[in-house]
């Protein structure tokens, strides 16, 4: 992980050397935060609608930069791929856990956006596990299209390889938690609104049991920042709204000051989340007994360890 992040920083400098001074400044600011060898971990109180009822649970957003292989579409280990095949990405893992009666749902959406290419999509995948079975879905952009792979325990959905066009300017909902943060310059100007091709999230597509298909949505940013109170204190925030034509309206509340954390989101379908805690950690080094205590920094309650026998 450390070496991958170091390579990201080096590539950033290479790109900045040929860019305008303002672009270089933005790149340097970005990598001073995101090239530090740590991930940002944000914990949330989650409400997820399922089976006609609101379900309480938790969500964790994990943001981290890493090197990515374009050919293999996976995290690139140092020295295993040609330099021309590797570029830096921002990886977002969004984990949702919520209870439905006797059994629980555990879902993850993993999205990779290119840091040096205006947040172009490199890959997004989704999995869901619950007591009835599990499903998997992914989209990979290739040759102007989105090529998919899906596996499901539902009858009639077992194994498929869907394919969709990838229209210019198309926005994948799963990328929104990165885009609205404006980590390399604002996604929208204050008060700006625009209409874009829009692909519903893999989670919503799965829970609704509908085929994935492009629609459109109007995305907008509030004209001014305003105060917002959360578990992290009172901050000035911007509001981004995504109004899907014939579908949901999703609102994101984003911290004005760096690092522009996502403090809350909500959807007209009933999903909502509010931040409980935030930390920058090398979580991959915290897998030993006792590491779970750091969950308190995310506002999450560590599960008790079993007693020694």
Burial class of 6 by CB neighbour count within 10 A (0 to 12, 13 to 18, 19+): middle
pTM over 0.85: yes
Tokens standing for residue 266: 């909500």
- What is the DSSP secondary structure assignment for residue 277, as one 8-state letter? E
Residue 5's pLDDT band (cuts 50, 70, 90): very low
pLDDT digit string, tens, across residues 108-124: 999 999 999 999 999 99
Average pLDDT in the 278-294 region? 95
Query: Residue 206: its pLDDT value, please?
Result: 87
Average pLDDT in the 190-197 region? 98
Strands 193-199 and 171-172: parallel
pLDDT digit string, tens, across residues 213-271: 999 999 999 999 999 999 999 999 999 999 999 999 999 999 999 999 999 999 999 99
Strand blocks (E) in 12-132 = 39-50, 53-69, 74-75, 86-100, 103-114, 121-130
pLDDT digit string, tens, across residues 44-62: 999 999 999 999 999 999 9
What Rg value do the Cα atoms of the chain yield, rounded? 19
Query: Residue 28: its pLDDT value, please?
Result: 79
Tokens standing for residue 63: 């943001």
3-state secondary structure (DSSP) of residue 152: coil
Q: H or E stretch including 176?
A: helix 176-179
* pLDDT of 299 strictly over 70: yes
Contacts of 234 by beta carbon, 8 Å cutoff, 6+ apart: 227, 228
Closest CA to 93 of 74, 115, 108: 108
Rounded to the nearest integer, the mean pLDDT of the chain is 91
Average pLDDT in the 178-196 region? 97
How far is the first Cα of the chain from the last one, in angstroms, to the nearest whole number?
A: 36
Q: Which is more confident, 127 or 13?
A: 127
Distance between CA 216 and CA 239 in Å, rounded?
20
What b-and-e string marks burial along 255-266, b requiring 16 or more CB atoms within 10 Å of the CB? beeeebbbbbbb
* pLDDT of 73 strictly over 90: yes
Contacts of 295 by beta carbon, 8 Å cutoff, 6+ apart: 43, 301, 302
pLDDT digit string, tens, across residues 144-179: 999 999 999 988 888 999 999 999 999 999 999 999
Q: Which is more confident, 9 or 82?
A: 82
Least confident piece of the model among 15-29, 80-94, 111-125, 237-251: 15-29
């Amino acid at each position: 992980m450390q070496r991958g992040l170091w390579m990201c920083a080096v590539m950033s400098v290479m790109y900045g050397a040929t860019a305008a001074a303002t672009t270089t400044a933005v790149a340097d600011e970005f990598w001073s935060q995101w090239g530090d060898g740590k991930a940002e971990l944000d914990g949330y109180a989650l409400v997820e609608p399922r089976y006609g009822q609101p379900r309480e649970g938790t969500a964790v957003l994990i943001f981290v930069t890493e090197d990515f292989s374009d050919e293999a579409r996976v995290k690139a280990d140092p020295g295993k791929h040609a330099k021309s095949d590797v570029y830096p990405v921002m990886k977002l893992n969004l984990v949702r856990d919520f209870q439905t009666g006797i059994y629980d749902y555990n879902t993850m959406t993993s999205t990779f956006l290119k840091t040096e290419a205006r947040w172009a999509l490199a890959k997004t995948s989704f999995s869901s596990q619950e007591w009835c079975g599990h499903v998997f879905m992914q989209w990979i952009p290739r040759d102007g299209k989105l090529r998919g792979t899906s596996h499901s325990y539902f009858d009639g959905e077992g194994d498929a390889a869907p394919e969709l066009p990838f229209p210019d300017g198309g926005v994948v909902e799963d990328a929104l938690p990165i885009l609205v943060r404006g980590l390399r310059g604002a996604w929208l100007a204050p008060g700006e609104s625009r209409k874009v091709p829009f692909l519903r999230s893999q989670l919503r597509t799965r829970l609704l049991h509908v085929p994935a298909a492009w629609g459109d949505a109007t995305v907008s940013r509030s004209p001014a920042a305003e105060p917002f109170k959360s578990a992290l204190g009172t901050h000035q925030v911007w509001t981004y709204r995504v109004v899907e034509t014939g579908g949901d309206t999703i609102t994101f509340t984003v911290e004005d000051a760096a690092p522009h954390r996502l403090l809350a989101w909500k959807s007209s379908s009933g999903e909502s989340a509010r931040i409980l805690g935030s930390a920058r950690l090398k979580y991959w080094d915290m897998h030993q007994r006792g590491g779970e205590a750091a969950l308190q920094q995310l506002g999450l309650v560590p599960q008790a360890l079993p007693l020694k026998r």
